[in-house]
Amino acid sequence: MFSNKEEFKSMFLQKLEMMYGKTFNDSTKRDQYHTLGNMVREYISSNWISTNESNRAENNKQVYYLSIEFLLGRLLGQNLLNLGIREVVEEGLNELGIELRQIEEAESDAGLGNGGLGRLAACFLDSLASLNLPGHGLGIRYKHGLFDQKIVDGYQVELPEQWLRHGNVWEVRKPDQAVEVSFWGKVEFLQKENHYVFRHVDAEVITAVPYDMPVIGYKTKTVNTLRLWNAEPSPHYHSYDVLKYKRETEAVSEFLYPDDTHDEGKILRLKQQYFLVSSSLQSIVNSYRKRNGSLADFHKRVAIHVNDTHPVLAIPELMRILLDEEGMGWDEAWEITTQTISYTNHTTLSEALEKWPVHIFKPLLPRIYLIVEEINERFCRELWEKYPGDWQRIEHMAIIAHDVVKMAHLAIVGSHSVNGVAKIHSEILKQREMKLYFEVFPQKFNNKTNGITHRRWLLKANPELTSLVSEVIGIEWIKKPEQLIELKRQAYDPSLKEKFSVIKKHRKEILAQKVFEQSGIKIDGDSIFDVQVKRLHAYKRQLLNVLHIMYLYNRLKEDSTFTIHPRTFIFGAKASPGYYYAKKIIKLINSVADKVNQDPQISKVLKVVFVENYRVSLAELIFPATDVSEQISTASKEASGTGNMKFMMNGALTIGTLDGANIEIMEAIGIENMFTFGLKADEVLNYYENGGYNSTEYYHHDGRIRTVVNQLTNGFFPETADEFEPIADSLIVQNDQYFVLRDFASYVESQEHVNRAYLDQTKWIEKAIINIAHSGYFSSDRTIQEYADQIWGIEPIGVKI
């Protein structure tokens, strides 16, 4: 390929002319992007082949990470960085008079996920490849990723996302490896000697065509694979209504469901889940059979991980293959299946727990349903032996009960490992949500605290801070992020602090520029950038943040002696299109923004910005520019959070509740380097169990609360009085399920600490550096190493070139 910038330049120009039949001067940014993308793909193709050949030759254990979401973002910049050719390319392009950044912006985000769960899957792929681990992703090639968000008159408007409109340079279609997935129809069984043989007949068959994307490790030769499945009509299936069949087939991989931590219960979603699982299992088994023949030792060479319950049908699907295709007996098939599958739980929110009505499940997946029924019967029989007569417990624990299939129950029973995503979350699973299962299977339960890839969230997003860190502690931390801890000794060095401060300011100016382009709002780089970016959800409590801003507005208006350091509150969040309340909160944020920004006095010290269309590429601009990270969920509700880690790694200080991974962040950095407030998880859970919370008491006894809650409906905003009534009702009439008013005073006080602390810049920056120093533990490299050692039992590969 190319080994210096001169070679790069000439190859780039040649390739551009070959691909587009035009000269460089006539080319568009998109032409240049596609040219560069294709060059990178060619650059890695031999390593990609070698990785696959190595895996075949070594016949080593492989892990397959099944996830209904992969929130990848843009790939060009990251791939160049991981290949170690970013600088050569950047310099070469500069000599041609173009900025790499501009070319990168021609790439659409691969937004095949909603939020944390999907982004976790993407970070894990990067860590697997960078640690030379044989691990691959399997997902769906949605034609439309998460919707594009526009804000019109303060309201969210959703537009279909179109990431494939101009093609996808990273994918390779593999039609020869297509498989068929069956729905509907019925099951026939015949007795053969001493057992039954099952056949799924009269099924509607669709074709799953794999599109493979390379996953490039950081400065290694490993190139793993992300396989995304596309749903297409099968040439072998004869339908009476061809158009209807085509339409319904293509619908399976058309849209990502835009619900975050919420179960939709729609038949198309179940179809998507089985489509992912069946095509993935067939493909894994096909490749295993080529290497090993019989499936008797399948679990010794294959680990399959299910990211939340969405791919949990992998359990009955693997059973189906072992029983019906391989002809195994139940017990042997069950042993192999449970030893192969492991499961991560992502939430304890009851509205997120997947339950499929039998009347939907059974007709759509008749053979799979029979297997789930058999799993359930055998499990209930075991429970009966362990707890004779305790029918109530068995009813609670059953996989199928009251005509619904409980996916989390199937996941626990059919896997060998069940993990939560932060210590507190894993404890809540064991002691509360999954207590009855913990009693039966204590050895299955474990914790794997989430992480983020520092290669995207520090190296790529914040090259200036990356260089500074390397200047101070050398470059070894890049391969071993825990070595960031060495920064701690330098936290008090004035020259480091000065340089950090210059970088932070620079990054704030970059974000300010972006905000101005997007919204026309001018924000001040000397103000505190206070940021809450994450999905919009009641439990994440964007409302608490907004009510605090309203309180600041009121206080500044009425009390001329009240002064604060200027603050810019930045929000970014998509609301699920059907989540009425979340959309109301977006409107409220925008109404408060108008009120604050249009007030000539107040806007000198306060600004409020809602950034449109929050997604990975925007996130990369936001984290490096942040001073204050808002992690203010109702304690016990946020399983882990990963945004908290990205902020910390970029030297923002956290204001947060003791929830999810905030607790482990606090334990790492020390409570003096964070602003904590509010109810603890056990206090919240205690209120839920025993009652005793009355939100109206807080309304009546705290004038600040009374004022801001009244302002929602008393004409303070130009909107009609009923615009925000649902929000006021949630707080007062519905007794404030998420304890916003309960935590209000504590939050205000904590925000006062933030304001005071920021005034002492020296100490503030020391705290920021201590945050960065401890962020290495929250690299997904640590997380993935734990999964590899403790759950999957996989070893690094030696890629031979």
Ligand X SMILES: *Cc1c(COP(=O)(O)O)cnc(C)c1O
**Cα-Cα end-to-end distance for the chain:** 15
In terms of Cα–Cα distance, which of 638, 653, 632, 612 is closest to 764?
A: 653
Question: Quick check: 675 and 696 in contact, CB under 8 A?
Answer: no
Q: Which is nearer to ligand X, 111 or 316 (CB)?
A: 111
Question: Residue 127 Cβ, how far from ligand X at the closest point, in Å?
Answer: 15
The residue type found at 350 is S
Told to check if 643 binds ligand X by CB under 6 A, we report yes
Question: Residue 187 Cβ, how far from ligand X at the closest point, in Å?
Answer: 41
Question: Residue 551 Cβ, how far from ligand X at the closest point, in Å?
Answer: 23
Mark whether 262 is an active-site residue. no
Q: Which is nearer to ligand X, 535 or 607 (CB)?
A: 535
Q: Which is nearer to ligand X, 535 or 567 (CB)?
A: 535
In terms of Cα–Cα distance, which of 775, 754, 776, 763 is closest to 497?
A: 763
Question: Within 10 Å of residue 342's Cβ, how many Cβ atoms?
Answer: 23
Residues 611-630 that bind ligand X (CB under 6 A): 615-616, 619
Task: Categorise residue 65: left if φ over 0, alpha if ψ from -120 to 50, beta otherwise.
Answer: beta
Q: How many residues bind ligand X (CB under 6 A)?
A: 12
Instruction: Given the residues 119, 305, 346, 455, select the one marked as catalytic.
Output: 346
Question: Within 10 Å of residue 519's Cβ, how many Cβ atoms?
Answer: 16
Q: Which is nearer to ligand X, 207 or 676 (CB)?
A: 676
Residues 744-763, one symbol each (x = binds ligand X by CB under 6 A, - = not), give --------------------
Instruction: Given the residues 144, 507, 540, 587, select the one marked as catalytic.
Output: 540
Distances (CA, A) of 447 to 126, 480, 778: 21, 22, 14
Q: Which is nearer to ligand X, 314 or 352 (CB)?
A: 352
Distances (CA, A) of 8 to 40, 85, 275, 372, 499: 11, 10, 42, 56, 33
Question: Quick check: 525 and 505 in contact, CB under 8 A?
Answer: yes
Helix then strand then coil, % of the chain, to nearest 5: 55, 15, 30
Length reported for the chain:
801
Indicate the DSSP class of residue 459.
I
How is residue 549 written in tokens?
């801003």
Residues 118-147, one symbol each (x = binds ligand X by CB under 6 A, - = not), give -x----------------------------
3-state SS, residue 199: strand
Phi, psi of 568 (to 5 degrees): -115, 115
**Signed CA dihedral, 672, 677, 681, 682: sign only:** positive
The residue type found at 274 is Y
Question: Residue 561 Cβ, how far from ligand X at the closest point, in Å?
Answer: 36
Instruction: Given the residues 305, 455, 497, 535, select the one marked as catalytic.
Output: 535
Q: Which stretch binds ligand X (CB under 6 A): 391-399, 541-549, 637-645, 707-715?
A: 637-645
In terms of Cα–Cα distance, which of 444, 438, 374, 445 is closest to 405?
A: 374
Question: Residue 427 Cβ, how far from ligand X at the closest point, in Å?
Answer: 19
Q: Which is nearer to ligand X, 139 or 185 (CB)?
A: 139
Q: Which is nearer to ligand X, 413 or 619 (CB)?
A: 619
Q: Which is nearer to ligand X, 55 or 642 (CB)?
A: 642
The β-bridge relationship of strands 148-152 and 155-159 is: antiparallel
Q: Which is nearer to ligand X, 117 or 368 (CB)?
A: 117
Instruction: Given the residues 449, 634, 642, 676, select the one marked as catalytic.
Output: 642
Q: Which stretch binds ligand X (CB under 6 A): 300-308, 400-408, 591-599, 636-644?
A: 636-644
Phi, psi of 606 (to 5 degrees): -125, 140
In terms of Cα–Cα distance, which of 199, 171, 173, 208 is closest to 41?
A: 171
Instruction: Given the residues 143, 646, 742, 767, select the one marked as catalytic.
Output: 646
Question: Residue 745 Cβ, how far from ligand X at the closest point, in Å?
Answer: 24
Rounded to whole angstroms, the Cα distance separating 410 from 278 reads: 17
- Which residue number has the CB closest to ligand X? 643
Residues 521-550 that bind ligand X (CB under 6 A): 534-535
Mark whether 534 is an active-site residue. yes
Q: Which stretch binds ligand X (CB under 6 A): 161-169, 327-335, 377-385, 640-648?
A: 640-648
Question: Residue 624 Cβ, how far from ligand X at the closest point, in Å?
Answer: 13
Indicate the DSSP class of residue 652.
P
Figure out which of the listed residues 67, 225, 642, 775 binds ligand X, where binding follows CB under 6 A.
642
Rounded to whole angstroms, the Cα distance separating 272 from 277 reads: 9
Question: Residue 357 Cβ, how far from ligand X at the closest point, in Å?
Answer: 30
In terms of Cα–Cα distance, which of 447, 444, 446, 366 is closest to 409?
A: 444
Question: Residue 762 Cβ, how far from ligand X at the closest point, in Å?
Answer: 29
Q: Which is nearer to ligand X, 616 or 705 (CB)?
A: 616
Residues 156-195, one symbol each (x = binds ligand X by CB under 6 A, - = not), give ----------------------------------------
Rounded to whole angstroms, the Cα distance separating 270 from 373 reads: 17
In terms of Cα–Cα distance, which of 450, 581, 482, 585 is closest to 118?
A: 450
Mark whether 646 is an active-site residue. yes
3-state SS, residue 104: helix
3-state SS, residue 656: strand
Q: Which is nearer to ligand X, 356 or 610 (CB)?
A: 610
How is residue 24 written in tokens?
């460089």
Question: Residue 535 Cβ, how far from ligand X at the closest point, in Å?
Answer: 6
DSSP-assigned states of every residue in 477-525:
HHHSGGGGGGGGGGTT-HHHHHHHHHHHHHHHHHHHHHHHHHH-----T
Burial 373-383 (b: 16+ CB within 10 A, else e): bebbeebbeeb
Residues 351-390, one symbol each (x = binds ligand X by CB under 6 A, - = not), give ----------------------------------------
Q: Which is nearer to ligand X, 354 or 659 (CB)?
A: 659
Task: Categorise residue 793: left if φ over 0, alpha if ψ from -120 to 50, beta otherwise.
Answer: left
Mark whether 535 is an active-site residue. yes
Q: Which is nearer to ligand X, 409 or 534 (CB)?
A: 534
Rounded to whole angstroms, the Cα distance separating 370 from 406 reads: 15
Question: Residue 643 Cβ, how far from ligand X at the closest point, in Å?
Answer: 3
Question: Residue 784 Cβ, how far from ligand X at the closest point, in Å?
Answer: 16
Residues 6 or more apart whose Cβ sits within 8 Å of residue 536: 542, 573, 574, 575, 579, 582, 583, 585, 586
Computed on alpha carbons and rounded to an integer, the radius of gyration of the chain in Å comes to 27
Question: Residue 447 Cβ, how far from ligand X at the closest point, in Å?
Answer: 17
Residues 78-117 that bind ligand X (CB under 6 A): 115-116
Instruction: Given the residues 143, 534, 615, 767, select the one marked as catalytic.
Output: 534
Residues 646-665 that bind ligand X (CB under 6 A): 646
In terms of Cα–Cα distance, which of 499, 536, 575 is closest to 768?
A: 499
Binding site for ligand X (CB under 6 A): 115-116, 119, 534-535, 615-616, 619, 641-643, 646
Q: Looking at the annotation, which residues are catalytic? A: 346, 534-535, 540, 642, 646
